[in-house]
């Protein structure tokens, strides 16, 4: 568990450094993700410890959004005058985005397995 966490933190640090000094266009965590991916590719396996940490994080990814999302809820009343147009735009847009992405994939690969 600890060695996996250390590896992830090191790659996060690496990503932050590269983002700050070389590639300000791409955020640090994304660069860290890419670097870790390249490392796993070269190494050929993730190892039990890294596996465990990553599984824990992806299982509880939602928890990490709560502090920021609470701020969002507090902010919404300030949008009162525009709330309706924004909500309509957000709801329709997210539905269209999901539908278009999924339909392009289905059309291009023709795969239709698994149960819905």
Partner 1 sequence: MQANLPPIAEIWVYLSGSPLLALILTLSAYQVGVLVYERLGRNPLANPIAIAVFIVAVAITLIDMPYPKYFAGAQFVHFLLGTATVSLAVPIYKGFNALSGRVLPLLLALIGGGVTSVISAVGLARLLGADTAIIGGLYAKSVTAPIAMGVAERIGVSPTLTAVFAVSTGVLGAVLGRYVLDFVGVRAWWQRGFALGVASHGIGTSRAFSVHPEAGAYSSLAMGMHGILGAILIPVFFSWFK
Rule CB under 8 A: say whether 101 interacts with partner 1. yes
Note every long-range contact of 7-16, with CB atoms under 8 Å and residues 24 or more positions apart, other chains counting.
Answer: 7/36, 7/49, 7/50, 8/36, 8/50, 8/53, 8/54, 11/35, 11/36, 11/39
Question: Which has the closest alpha carbon to 5: 53, 43, 59?
Answer: 53
Within 13 A of 39's CA, how many CA atoms are on the CB side?
Answer: 16
Applying the rule CB under 8 A, the residues between 49 and 88 that interact with partner 1 are 50-51, 53-55, 57-76, 79, 82, 84-86, 88
Q: Which of 1, 6, 17, 104 binds partner 1 (CB under 8 A)?
A: 104
| Stretch 5-44: interaction string toward partner 1, x if CB under 8 A | ---xx-xx--x---------xxxxxx-xxx-xx--xx---
- Rounded CA-CA distance 60/72 in Å is 20
Closer to partner 1 by Cβ: residue 17 or 84: 84
Closer to partner 1 by Cβ: residue 22 or 76: 76
Q: How far is the CB of 59 from partner 1 (least distance, A)?
A: 6
């Amino acid at each position: 568990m600890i060695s996996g966490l250390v590896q992830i933190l090191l790659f996060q640090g690496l990503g932050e450094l590269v983002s700050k000094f070389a590639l300000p266009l791409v955020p640090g965590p994304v660069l860290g993700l890419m670097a870790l991916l390249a490392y796993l590719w070269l190494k050929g396996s993730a190892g039990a410890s890294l596996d465990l940490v990553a599984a824990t994080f992806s299982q509880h990814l939602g928890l990490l959004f709560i502090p920021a999302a609470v701020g969002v809820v507090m902010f919404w009343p300030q949008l009162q005058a525009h709330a309706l147009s924004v909500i309509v735009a957000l709801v329709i847009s997210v539905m269209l985005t999901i539908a278009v992405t999924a339909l392009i994939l289905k059309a291009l690969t023709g795969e239709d397995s698994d149960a819905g």
